Amino acid sequence: MSPYRFSIAIPTFRRPTYLADLLKDLAQQQGNFDWSNYEILICDNDALESAKGTFHAYSFPGCLRYSYFSVKEQNISLARNKLVEESSCDAIIFVDDDQRVNRDFLANVEKFWLERVNQIAGAKFQVNPIFDSSEPKWFRQRRLYSGCLPENGSPIVTFATNGCILKTELLKHFKFNALFGRTGGEDFELFLRATKEGYWFASARSITVLERVPQERETLVYLLKRDFFRSCTLGHLIRQGYLERNLRRNIAIISPSAIALLPLVPISLIFGRFFFLRTLLLTVRQFGKMLGFFGFRPKAY
């Protein structure tokens, strides 16, 4: 029997159909793991509790606990903190409601974790997008929606919590900051704080989760807003000294690079639409970091 117990933590907001698919995937898990070492926690961040019906449609009789909670104020940080607060296990596996997992997902996570639990405080899974619509192929490049992690077990500094495993004791100490719960970047901020205090995280590239990209996210406006808001948060964190660079050096790097990229945006069309889109997003990110560095705080997107 595994010496470790795991919470599967699922924050959700108005996606009952997607949530149902994820719960179905979990119900079909196979391999070398024991449900008696697992609990499933769902936190509904919708004031209307739209996920409650989906929760009651499924049952996991062999697990430690299958529980539903509600946080009515829309803020992903508050929802994640509620899941951490309710966890009774040693580690928390975060999976978003719009993700799908393979049948050997839990067995692979448990194997990876138990081999490294004494060296790291958490690990990030490889997240690959799956698309709901038929947007042009050049627009649906994986690199626009997720990156590729380094070699399995390699150290990483910060990452998104849409598919990861973390020690519960870490999250009891470092809570998700509600100031970033509507703009994005709350997870990056948490991991930067933890890294500065000596915690280590690793790549779990061998463990893959699929993330659905709904049609409303396959738009240029969504991508621009997403990258701009996240970059504003990053600029704020740079200003606070999280990335341990000299303040003047940051000013010297961020501002000129943002301005220098502007004339490259139309020129990049020569190399194709995808290259143009990448250049445009890079420019937006640089301006976002610059504005965040100088105090701009965006509202929710």
C-alpha distance from residue 211 to each of 19, 84, 161, 163 (Å): 12, 22, 12, 9
DSSP 8-state class, residue 143: G
C-alpha distance from residue 229 to each of 202, 232, 236, 268 (Å): 26, 5, 11, 23
pLDDT digits (tens, 9 = 90+) for 253-273: 556 666 777 777 788 878 888
pLDDT digits (tens, 9 = 90+) for 112-128: 999 999 999 999 999 99
Portion of the chain with pLDDT greater than 90, in percent: 54
Under 8 Å between Cβ of 224 and 284: yes
Q: What is the pLDDT of residue 221?
A: 87
Q: What is the pLDDT of residue 148?
A: 83
Q: What is the pLDDT of residue 252?
A: 47
Which ranges in the chain belong to alpha helices (H)? 16-27, 52-56, 76-86, 105-116, 168-173, 186-196, 220-239, 247-261, 264-267, 273-293
Taking the C-alpha atoms of residue 194 and residue 262, their distance in angstroms, rounded to an integer, is 35
Taking the C-alpha atoms of residue 230 and residue 214, their distance in angstroms, rounded to an integer, is 20
Lowest mean pLDDT among 52-56, 211-215, 274-278: 274-278
24's tokens:
């179905």
pTM of the complete model: 0.86
Strands 155-156 and 99-101: unpaired
Mean pLDDT of the residues in the chain: 87
Q: What is the pLDDT of residue 250?
A: 54
Domains of the chain, residue spans? 6-217, 220-293
pLDDT digits (tens, 9 = 90+) for 65-93: 999 999 999 999 999 999 999 999 999 99
Of 147, 173, 171, 172, which is closest to residue 160 (Cα–Cα)? 147
Taking the C-alpha atoms of residue 100 and residue 275, their distance in angstroms, rounded to an integer, is 29
Under 8 Å between Cβ of 166 and 284: no
Q: What is the pLDDT of residue 22?
A: 98
Q: What is the pLDDT of residue 301?
A: 47
pLDDT digits (tens, 9 = 90+) for 139-177: 556 566 667 899 999 999 888 899 999 999 999 999 999
| CATH code of domain 6-217 | 3.90.550.10
Task: Categorize the per-residue pLDDT at 38 as very low, low, confident or very high, splitting at 50, 70 and 90.
Answer: very high
Q: What is the pLDDT of residue 245?
A: 53
Under 8 Å between Cβ of 195 and 158: yes
Radius of gyration for the chain, computed over Cα atoms and rounded to the nearest angstrom:
20
Cα torsion angle, 191, 116, 163, 79, sign: negative
Taking the C-alpha atoms of residue 146 and residue 149, their distance in angstroms, rounded to an integer, is 9
